[in-house]
Amino acid sequence: MQVREIIQLKGGTLYTATPQQSLASAIETMAELDVGSLVVMHDGKMAGMLTFREVMVALKAHGCTADGVTVGDVMVRDPVTAYPAMEANDLRRLMIEKHSRYLPVLDGNLLMGVISFLDVAKAVLEEQSFENKMLKSYIKNWPDEQKA
């Protein structure tokens, strides 16, 4: 299974913020949409990523308040990225090595979406379920050599 297939399964919906946006506003958006990350866009290009990890660190650093803090102050400026032809196992390995729960997927300069570790787990589970069904069907329809 490749990253492009995972994106197709989950859909390419992007939730975004801007570097100038207040952190409080971004937190509100994340909570309302029930998402753990926002792609930070500037001039039509990805400028970084904001995840709940950066939010927690920022809140701790600013006395549990987001007053006066912008997304640009706390975002990851050069996030680890995936590409469409990347295999799911390589993606999982990369996410584990880089401690990244959310990876933007780029096809050249085109942002295709964001994949979460949960998206990967769901896709792998679906793939395994399909393979199990196929194997069970194959075994069930195995030719009975005793009849021959």
- 39-77 pLDDT, tens digit per residue, is 999 999 999 999 999 999 999 999 988 999 999 999 999
Distance of alpha carbon 83 from alpha carbon 105, whole angstroms: 5
Tell the residue number behind the tokens 């584990």, with chain if given.
96
Of 3-17, 23-37, 67-81, the range with the lowest mean pLDDT is: 3-17
When the pLDDT of each residue in the chain is averaged and rounded to a whole number, the result is 90
CA-nearest of 30, 32, 31, 82 to 40 is 30
Structural domains of the chain sorted by starting position, each given as residue range(s) with its CATH number in brackets: 3-141 (3.10.580.10)
Q: Does position 105 have pLDDT exceeding 80, yes or no?
A: yes
pTM: 0.81
